[in-house]
Each structure stands twice: as structure tokens, then as C-alpha cells.
Chains A and B, each alone.
Chain A
Amino acid sequence: MKPQRILGMAWTNMKKRKLRTALTTIGIVIGIMSLIGIATLSTGFETQMNTQLISGFDTDILTVNTGGGFHDPGGVSEDSGIELNTTYADAIETIDGIEVAMCIARQGTTAYNLENESLQTTIMGLNITKFELIYGDQINFTSGGWPTDNESIIIGYLDEPFAQMGENISVSIRIGVLSSNVTFTVSGILDEIGQLGMTSVDGNLLLPLDVYQTLLETETVDSIVVMISDPNQADTIADEIRTLFDDEVNVIVPSQMIETMQAMLTTQEIFLFAIASIAILVAGISILNIMLVSVMERTREIGILKALGAKRRTVLGQFLGEAVLLGILGGAFGIIFGYGMGFLLVQMLGPMFSQMRGLDATSSTIVPVLTVDTIIIALVFSILVSVIFTLYPAYKAAKLDPVKALRYE
């Protein structure tokens, strides 16, 4: 019998047993749906992570800190207790291959505008010359420019609804346990910069480092951003920095961090795919079960077909044809529902996952990504599972003795 006729007959059989076909298909649909849901979510995360990290984390930028935040496999895991300051940056700059080492100091604060509205933000101090050296082409002002006196402040573009150019804002400053409010004039608004190394300045208040340090009466800085001339030297230079400070600092290498995150993602994927595989295995076993019952019920029909001259391989083909169609049907619906499930998963798990990975959950929207590869793999997988679990029932049907089959009631 021609393959298309075999498929045609298989389709007629499936249509005749609609409920059974639907129930069998549901098994595969659920399996493939979970697979696709997870795959679209993973791909979505990966895409988002890559764009966010790779664009923000310039591979020639290292970040030195004293622990906390991102774990650095080669550095300290707990806060080492040492306090970074500008002399550390100067020391780092003596290492070969380092162009600039810039100190960043910061403090969480509350700012008030003219209408006495409050804003939770961060006040940052950084060396403007070095900042421009490192991020030069990324720095643009929508209005104004760098402060020229110690009463001016720069705000990020996200703060624009809060305060306008030239307006006064009052910023709460904490020294030790004492808090006081200092008033600044907005002298410049920075355009969007995005992720800068480990930080973002888009919603922050910026001061020149010396102004910041005088104001807060401190020499200590929180991290040192290091620009190197050759990204390929990142690991070597990171080691040199650690050695320089007797392994008491963290040096975060972007490429390493991306690797760490991707490894984390892979682990999660393997776990989720294992769960999806179990769902598909269960679907396969239910197919096996239903096909065995089907062969028994259709014993007489198989006998008739054989009496009419059907060969073993024709009978085998009938059942495998049904398996292929079930696989396509289940796979197609599974892909559609799985894509939908991807959006649901993003809603439910997105913020959690983002936080786990240290990404800003609110500013980044993850979109499930369904690739052609995923579709093909899912379809092939679905058909394969369906066919494999139908092999035994189909073989049983094919080798039925026609005389006995015709007598079967």
C-alpha cells in the first residue's frame, strides 16, 4: 500500500475514535508543552541576559570590590573588611595593561524636590575625568554638563520627572549615624547609559568624587572600575590585582561572570528539561498502553485486512502511521500551548529568576523566544516518542495469525 494511503487510513481510524485520539494526544501535548514552555523561557532569558550583560559589561571593564554582591570564584566570598580608597586605584593603575582605575563611592539616600516629593535613590561620587575616559562615547547630557562647583549635582535621565534642569533638590546625607539634608542645584541631566560594569547611573545622583568625599567626610570608596587595554588579558590582570592586595579583594571579570551565569542557566535548564522529559515519557507509556488496547480491539479488522492481501509491513505501517500523525498533532498543539505557557512562566517566574541572577527585574522584560530549531526538535521528539512506543503494539498487530484474527470476537 502506498504511504499516503496508509496515512489516510490511519487518519480515518483516528477520526473514528475521536475521544481516544484526543486523550492520547493530550499526553504528548502536555509533554511537548512543558518542553516548549521551558525552552522559550530559557531562550528568552539567554537572549535578555546576553544583550544586557554583553552590551553593559564591556569585556574590557573589570570591577574591584571587597565582597558581597556577585561572588567571585577567585576572590573573597565574605566582606574582607579592608576599605578601598583612591590609593588602591593608584596602585592598580601601575599594573601593566591597565588604562584607568576609577573609584566609585555610593550611598543610598532620599532626595526631595521643590514640591517636597521624595525619591529613593543612590548618590554616587566618581572621578569625572576617569569616568569620561572609560565611558566617553556612552556619556551624553540631555541638558547641562558636569558640575563646576560643589553645590551642583548631576541626575540620570530616569530622575527627570522628579527634578528639572536648574531646580534645587534636597538630598539626605548620612555620616556615621547622623543624617543631614544638603541642597544642590541640578546642573546636568545624563542621557541613558544603561549598565556600567556592575552599576547603573541612569537613576542616580552624581557628584565629583572629591565633592562627595568632602561632603560625607570619608576616604573610603565602594568599588574600583578598571579599564584594561586588551580584553584577552582580563583573567591575567584580575589575578595580578588580587595578588597585589593579598587576595583580599574581589575582581569581577565580565566574561567569567557571563560564564558563571550561563552555567547556572544550563543547570536550571537541565533540571527543567528532565521534568519535561518525564512528562513525555509518561505520554509515551500512555501511547503504548492505548495502542496495545487498540490492537486487541482491532484484531478482527487486522484479520480482514490480511485476508484481503495486506502484508505484515502494511499492518505495521498502519499503526506507525497513526503514531506519526499522533506525534505531529500532539507536537503541533504542544508547541502552540507551550509558547503560551512561556508567557505565563515569564509572568510567574520572571522576576524571581531575574533576581536570582542579579539582574534588575523591573527594568528588563523577558520575552519568551521560540526558535525554528526548538520547533523542529520538539516535532521530531514528539514523533519519535510516539513511534517508538508504538513499535511493539504495531509489531504485535503485524504478526497476528489471520485465521485466528478473523475468528476473534
Chain B
Amino acid sequence: MISKQAIINDRANSPSSKGENGILINAQNLHRSYQMGKVLVHALRGVDLQVRRGEFVVILGVSGSGKTTLLHLIGALDHPTDGQIFIDGEDLSQLNDSQLANIRLQKVGFVFQFFNLLPQYTAQANVEIPLHLAELDKNEAHQRSKELLHIVGLQDRVDHVPAELSGGEQQRVAIARALANNPQILLADEPTGNLDTQTGAEIIALLEQVNKEQQKTVIIVGHDQRLTEVAHRVIEMRDGQFVSNHPGGRGELQ
């Protein structure tokens, strides 16, 4: 039997001394604008965000409110036009491309609305991609990917390619892949946006489980109101700014 505890006790999960007061993510006065044709779009207009270790934060907003842009900045996929962002005390604006890639590899895991699995690979091979990127030994990667698929309840689907899996199953694979290198942060961009109500609820439950059992810091953006019930904190965004920031259904993280 595969022990979940073994994975939890894995590397990189111990609290880092670099974070202050349990704050894992610290964004200050974030601005992000980009050129779209002849128009300059201000996707973020000065956002301050502190997220504590183990916190489950849901950011709600209509499309175009800047929530995905914020998620990309936290996930080291994009550079802010202005402002600073610290992950685990590390200033992302000071890092080069290769170092940012390392942050994405080791500290964050992404889950997308459209799953974004690679269609040519089996569920297990998809989960193994980040493990191979981290240069894990082949057998080690094999073992770990199996454990991860077990955690998300897909132990019987390891050899199926994405086309043979349902939407919910694909999203489970994506979550397993996001957790592969045992990151501290799990970022999800409308993870239920492409799923039916029942399946969406199951994915939300899985994300909550990951947060509770593995102490992952989870940030989800979307507009599924059910997300607020499992969140410690709910932030609402409009036009690139926070318009409200209040405790979620689980109450603030103690």
C-alpha cells in the first residue's frame, strides 16, 4: 500500500526560514500591462497580496478582471510591469529565465481550465514530465507518478492517454502532475470551468483534500461560487484591482 504520509514528508515541504510570519507569497503593488494591437491593456493596476502557508485562497472575478494575469505572476510565468513579488522570501523580479523555470519546477504547480495534458502521453507519462524535468531517476519517477495517480484516485487509469479519460479524470491527472515535485503552492486557473457540476464538485473536494492533507498553499481563480465554501479567504477582482477581501467558508486560517 502506498503511504500518503511518505509523500507528505517528502523534501521541500518543511517551512522555510525565508518566509516571514508564515507568509509564503507576498506581492506588492503589482502592475501588469501589455500591448494588444494598438491598445495598451492594464490587466493589473496595483495589487497587494499576502498568502500564508497552507492557506486556501479563491480569487473571483469576471473574465478580463486580471485574475489569470495575477496567477501567472505568482506562478513565475510572467514578469510584472511594476511592483514586486516574493515567493518564500525570494524576489522573482531578480531572477533570470532559468531561475524562474526552477521556481515553476520546484515551488509551484499549475492546474488549468482545459487540463493541458500532452495528448501523446499516458496519464503516468504526463505526471512524469515534471519529474523528468527535475532529473529524477527513471525508476524513482515511475514510482512517484504511480503514487500521485493513486492519491488522485486514478490508480486504474495510469496507462490511458488523455483521449481515453473523462474531463474529471483528465483534471485529476493534471492535479497529480502539478503535485509531482511536491511544490508548496498549487495554482489553479478555473479548474472546474470545463466540467459538469458533479465532477466539478469532486475536483473541488480533491483540491481541498490536497490543501488539508498535504498542507499545500492553494490559490484558485475562477467564478465557481462553490469554491468560496472551501476557501480560507475569498478575494474579488474587478478591472485589475481587488474590490473585496474577506474570509471564506472555512474561516480564516488559524
Contact = CB atoms under 8 A, between A and B. Distances in A.
Interface of A: 1-2, 5, 9, 12-13, 15-16, 300-301, 304-312, 314, 402-403, 406
Nearest to A402: B77
Given A308-B110, A403-B77, A406-B116, A5 B132 contact: yes
Interface of B: 72, 75, 77-78, 97-98, 101-106, 110, 112, 116, 118, 120-121, 125, 129-130, 132-135, 138, 177, 181
A211 B35 CA distance: 105
Nearest to A2: B135
Nearest to A308: B130
A312 B98 contact: yes
A307 B189 CA distance: 13
Given A309-B102, A312-B98, A1 B77 contact: no
Q: Identify whether the interface residues of A are mostly helix, strand, loop, or mixed.
A: helix
Contact of B104 (A2, A9, A301, A306): A306
Contacts of A308: 104-105, 110, 129-130, 133, 177
28 contacts: A1-B132, A1-B135, A2-B132, A5-B132, A12-B121, A12-B125, A13-B120, A15-B120, A16-B120, A301-B118, A304-B118, A305-B133, A306-B101, A306-B104, A307-B75, A307-B110, A307-B116, A308-B105, A308-B130, A308-B133, A309-B105, A309-B130, A310-B101, A310-B105, A311-B97, A312-B98, A403-B77, A406-B116
Contact of A403 (B78, B98, B121): B78
Contacts of A306: 77, 101, 104
Nearest to B181: A309
Contacts of A310: 101, 105, 133
Sorted nearest first, the 8 A-B pairs with minimum C-beta distance are A309-B105, A309-B104, A16-B120, A311-B101, A5-B132, A304-B116, A308-B130, A402-B77
B72 to A, nearest CB: 5
B202 to A, nearest CB: 23
A308 B112 CA distance: 12
Nearest to B125: A12
Contacts of A5: 132, 138
B133 A314 contact: yes
Nearest to B129: A308
B46 to A, nearest CB: 20
Contacts of A312: 97-98, 101
Given A13-B120, A301-B118, A309 B134 contact: yes
Nearest to A4: B138
A1 B133 CA distance: 4
Given A16-B120, A403-B72, A311 B77 contact: no
B100 to A, nearest CB: 9
A16 B78 CA distance: 31
Given A16-B120, A306-B77, A306-B101, 17 more contacts: A1-B132, A1-B135, A2-B132, A2-B135, A5-B138, A12-B120, A307-B75, A307-B110, A308-B177, A309-B101, A309-B104, A311-B97, A312-B97, A312-B101, A403-B72, A403-B78, A406-B77
A15 B116 CA distance: 20
Contact of A309 (B72, B78, B133): B133
Nearest to B121: A12
Contacts of B121: 12
Contacts of B125: 12
B173 to A, nearest CB: 13
Nearest to B118: A301
Nearest to A315: B101
A260 B239 CA distance: 84
Contacts of B110: 307-308
Contacts of B105: 308-310
B52 to A, nearest CB: 24
A112 to B, nearest CB: 79
Given A2-B132, A13-B120, A16-B120, A307 B77 contact: yes
A179 to B, nearest CB: 83
A311 B105 CA distance: 9
A309 B118 contact: no
A178 B89 CA distance: 115
Contacts of A1: 132-133, 135
A354 B125 CA distance: 59
Contacts of B72: 403
A279 B50 CA distance: 61
A12 B132 CA distance: 15
A304 B130 CA distance: 11
A12 B97 CA distance: 27
Contacts of A305: 129, 133
A1 to B, nearest CB: 5
A312 to B, nearest CB: 6
Nearest to B117: A304
Contacts of B98: 311-312
A338 to B, nearest CB: 32
A9 to B, nearest CB: 8
Contacts of B75: 307
